[in-house]
Amino acid sequence: MIKLYKYTFSTLLFVLFQVLHVSAQVTNINATINILGGGTVMVCNSFFDNQAAGTVSLTGTLDVNTTLTNNGLFTGNAGSLLLMSGTAEQLIDGASVVNTYDFQVNNAGFGVTNNNTGHIRVANSLLLTNGRLFTSNTRQIRFTPTALNPAESNANHIVGTAYMESRAIGVAAFGPFLNLSFAAGGNITSMDLFRRTGNGAGNTLAPAPTSGIVNVGGNTSIAAYWSIQSADSLLFPNRDMTISWLSAWDNGKNLLQMQRWRSRQYGAVTAPWREMNPLIDMSARTFTQNSGIVLVRDWTYSDIVNPLPVDILSFNVQQKNNDALITWATANEKNLAHYEILRSTDGENFVSIGRVKAQSKSGTSIYNFTDPNFVALPVQTVYYQLKQVEQDGKSALSATKSLNIAHTASFAVAAYPNPFFESLSINIQNLNEETCTISLTDNLGREVYRGQTSDKFAQIVLSTEIQSLAAGSYILTVRSSTESKFVKLIKR
């Protein structure tokens, strides 16, 4: 074993010899090892261990044939190469970041596992010459803002978590990087990108890599998903986004009937996902979204059965007088109990406003639901979703539909949910800002709540006021000086 103490002879050796083969283990306790440029190569046929007080500075090439452990300072300068070229599965271990310029995996049939909790950082190129690189959420391969997109193939690719550190994009086209690209468009001042691939199997020397498969209600995606993050905002305007994937990540999906999905919240990959396009042929394993707006979310693809339990043939919303008319048609409903109609005033936070029993039949089923006096909501745009609930309680969400309010009346009232139980929201459109009285009475005419407002758009939420009410029917009455509105409600 070679133990290098402070001021090591290695600096002098690498000036004299362009290639140094070391058969014994290299343990750097508290020295500085400089591997110089100009064709200098250090080949370590055994373990290379850079301990906490050690420093390794590469300008040339370090070729490791077994395990590289770094707990000290490890720096790859411009033009340098860290090469892993063993004949058995190799490990990068330790707890301190391994900073590389070029990093090469050349280990046919075995690959390299990153078990370094400080991560591996690549400033220029990841070269997957032969073999796969296994990573995880806590042991990532990271690409600095100057790094190039790694060239991957079915035989040689990253399995686990790859992270493109925050970089400025501007208005120019971006990518492809980690199989994602943007056309030129609105300004993106900064963006982070995670890509997770694989199914958690394949390496033996370290914990299995983070799965790239999204599992929602027992249904699964392809073995890859992408997480877009930005410090700027929740969306990038005027951008076409393209995502592609390798056949190694198909996960047995039917590529002729695929859909693209995004998570409701960033990082919430087990939460309900939203379907973003109708069924299409993705046998080319690539798709471009032309919506012009890219949300900061997680994105993936699934086939016809994932993750929704039935096929939604159509889903539409339209204004009819002061109401919103919601219609949808489905095919091949199996074990479906009911639909919940969800509404949102911001596109993110949805509440249930009603329920429709499923017909649960083969063939086509047609439904409709009226959201009465939705014009009373204090927003310009209202969003709707369908929540499909199966007999066993599993549920999934449809795509989101938006409807702009055209105000046809100066006075309107809406109340939801109906039936209500724990809370009741009352929305009043009062464009003339008259003083309005609000009264809730039971079926015997007894008043159980009374309130007042003169706001142009008012929202009154009753909670403790209705907790003790008996189940049954109630009448909500809202009166201005010129008009009265009545809404029949049911308490469950």
235-251 burial by CB neighbour count: b if 16+ within 10 A, else e? ebeebbbbbebbebbbb
Query: Closest Cα to residue 150, out of 137, 138, 139, 135?
Result: 135
Render pLDDT for 112-158 as a digit per residue (tens, 0 to 9): 999 999 999 999 999 999 999 999 989 999 999 999 999 999 999 99
Residue 331 pLDDT greater than 90, yes or no: no
Q: So what's the pLDDT on residue 169?
A: 87
- Token pair in block for residue 397: 């969400």
Positive or negative, the CA dihedral 39, 97, 225, 158 is positive
Query: Closest Cα to residue 246, out of 326, 151, 333?
Result: 151
pLDDT band at 91 (very low <50, low <70, confident <90, very high): very high
Residue 63 pLDDT greater than 50, yes or no: yes
Rounded distance between C-alpha atoms, residue 160 and residue 142, angstroms: 12
Long-range contacts of 286-289 (CB under 8 A, 24+ apart): 286/242, 286/243, 286/244, 286/245, 287/242, 287/243, 287/244, 287/258, 287/260, 288/240, 288/241, 288/242, 289/240, 289/241, 289/242, 289/260
Fill in the amino acid letter for 429.
Q
Contacts of 405 (CB under 8 A, 6+ apart): 319, 374, 375, 377, 379, 380, 381, 382
Q: So what's the pLDDT on residue 275?
A: 62
Query: Closest Cα to residue 326, out of 313, 339, 337, 341?
Result: 341
- Token pair in block for residue 182: 């943007």
**Is there a contact between 92 and 64 (Cβ–Cβ < 8 Å)?**
no
Which stretch of DSSP H or E encloses residue 350? none
Percent pLDDT > 70 in the chain is 86
- Token pair in block for residue 254: 């039917």
Lowest-confidence segment of 308-322, 359-373, 457-471 by average pLDDT = 308-322
Tell me what the mean pLDDT of segment 88-93 comes to: 92
Q: 3-state class of 248 per DSSP?
A: helix
Rounded distance between C-alpha atoms, residue 349 and residue 346, angstroms: 7
Same fold, 311-404 and 411-491: yes
Map out the domains of the chain as residue ranges: 2-253, 311-404, 411-491
Q: 3-state class of 466 per DSSP?
A: helix
Q: So what's the pLDDT on residue 176?
A: 95
Within 10 Å of residue 431's Cβ, how many Cβ atoms? 13
Lowest-confidence segment of 18-32, 74-88, 421-435 by average pLDDT = 18-32
For residues 13 and 350, the model is more confident at: 350
Residue 178 pLDDT greater than 80, yes or no: yes
Tell me what the mean pLDDT of segment 259-277 comes to: 70
CATH class (in words) of the domain with range 311-404: mainly beta
Q: What is the CATH number of domain 411-491?
A: 2.60.40.1930
Long-range contacts of 122-129 (CB under 8 A, 24+ apart): 122/147, 123/76, 123/78, 123/99, 123/147, 124/78, 124/148, 125/150, 126/102, 126/150, 126/158, 127/102, 127/103, 127/151, 128/152, 128/153, 128/156, 128/157, 128/158, 129/104, 129/105, 129/156
What's the chain's average pLDDT? 84
Percent pLDDT > 90 in the chain is 42
Q: How many residues does the chain have?
A: 492
Query: Closest Cα to residue 275, out of 231, 247, 309?
Result: 309
**Is there a contact between 190 and 168 (Cβ–Cβ < 8 Å)?**
yes
